[in-house]
Amino acid sequence: MRVTKQKLHQLIRTKLSLAGLSPSHADVVADVLVHADVRGVHSHGAMRVEYYAERIAKGGTNVNPQFTFEKTGPCSAVFDGDNGAGHVAAKQAMEHAVNMAKENGIAIVGVRRIGHSGSLSYYVQQAAREGLIGISVCQSDPMVVPFGGAEAYYGTNPIAFAAPGEGSALITFDMATTVQAWGKILHARSKHEAIPDTWAVDEHGVRTNDPFKVHALLPIAGPKGYGLMMMVDILSGVLLGLPFGNRVSSMYHDLTEGRNLGQLHIVLDPSFFTDLETFRRNISQTMQDLNGIKPAPGFEQVLYPGQNYDRIEQENEANGIEIVDEIYDYLTSDVIHHHKYDHKDPFAT
């Protein structure tokens, strides 16, 4: 099923509002989810709506949060999300970070006590569209075996980066510190498709290509990914006085309770370090240089990071976004949720 970006936004906004989220907050969450779907990152798009709706309806997302923003230094601050919708808190925190960076050259804003905030590329692009460099990291619930281990400890703990080129050009990088994000497993389940056996392991620690047998994910590049997810957990959990490691709350354990997750935004104003026009020109030159590198056998072109998603976004803007029929049927139904997620094992089928 293909739908326009505007139609998908309206369907998501309506469903989340029916679940109990305020229209203004539902609008922001819909923005972030559609941002993911239009870029082809369906693991962080409309497929998440029913889970959000169930958590909202059961009280695990605070629909009337009292957000607070406290500056702790010229370039540092803490934004408390009061366990409201993570997307709304993360967006507002980035707005504060952008303003602080424009004033002082750099801003580091910790975002405390939030729910799942979706695709991090949305927030770093907020900064890049203002002519700034954006970096964001966030913790997630334990579902990854550390290198050499047989039990999950860290989450997929993503990292995102964006910088502005000339005009409206942006270079964006958004990755989980696992070989693939958990949402990719969910997307494969929704389409009943096999996964590469390099993504995850079953309950015995053996690699599997069956998304329904996944018991834990694998870190990217072994010990290197393991180190990165540790770094993210410290920056977005330990640093903010929040639960960390395998103490981070499960996405599905109790949908009546807030998740108390953490996220960290870092924003840099290039004009405090170099000439801004030169910086933006050199970012665009970097993108052109990478495209111009001789491709290896089997490749048509070297793409700069995020370029494949930029191309998908252009295609989907023109032709509509492909949505799994089951998800579309849910979005257009009168059902708020089907009680599918509460107190479930995160790896349950």
Q: What's the chain's Rg over C-alpha atoms?
A: 20
Query: Is the domain defined by 2-274+311-332 classed in CATH 3.30.1370.60?
Result: yes
State the DSSP string of 101-149.
HHHHSEEEEEEEEE-----THHHHHHHHTTT-EEEEEE---S-BPPTT-
User: What's residue 173's pLDDT?
Assistant: 96
Q: How far apart are the first and last CA of the chain?
A: 24
Phi-psi sector, 118: left (phi>0), alpha (psi -120 to 50), beta: left
The three-point CA angle 79-174-187 to 5° equals 105
- Name the band, by pLDDT with cuts 50, 70 and 90, for residue 161: very high
**What CA–CA distance (Å, rounded) separates 33 from 87?**
9
Give the three-class secondary structure for 79. strand
What are the tokens at 281?
């020109």
Question: Which one-letter amino acid corresponds to residue 51?
Answer: Y
Distances (CA, A) of 139 to 114, 237, 244: 11, 7, 8
Instruction: Give the pLDDT confidence of 17-49 residue by residue, as tens digits.
Output: 999 999 999 999 999 999 999 999 998 999 999
Q: Is the pLDDT of residue 349 over 70?
A: no
Reported for 97-103, long-range contacts at CB under 8 A and 24+ positions apart, including other chains, are 97/127, 97/265, 97/266, 97/267, 98/126, 98/127, 98/130, 98/132, 98/267, 100/71, 100/75, 100/267, 101/75, 101/127, 101/132, 101/267, 101/268, 101/269, 102/130, 102/132, 102/269
Q: Where do the domains of the chain lie?
A: 2-274+311-332
State the DSSP string of 295-324.
PPTT-S-PPPTTHHHHHHHHHHHHH-EE--
Q: Is the pLDDT of residue 61 over 60?
A: yes
Instruction: Give the pLDDT confidence of 238-276 residue by residue, as tens digits.
Output: 999 999 999 999 999 899 999 999 999 999 999 999 999
Instruction: Give the pLDDT confidence of 169-223 residue by residue, as tens digits.
Output: 999 999 999 998 777 887 898 889 999 999 998 888 888 999 999 989 999 999 9
* DSSP secondary structure code for residue 185 in this structure: H
Would you tell me the crossing angle of helices 325-332 and 49-57 to the nearest 10 degrees? 40
pTM for the full predicted model: 0.94
* Residue 183, CB-side half-sphere exposure with 13 Å CA sphere: 24
The catalytically annotated residue of 25, 87, 116, 215 is: 116
35 is annotated as an active-site residue:
no
Question: Which one-letter amino acid corresponds to residue 71?
Answer: K
User: What's residue 202's pLDDT?
Assistant: 87
Mean pLDDT of 152-159: 95
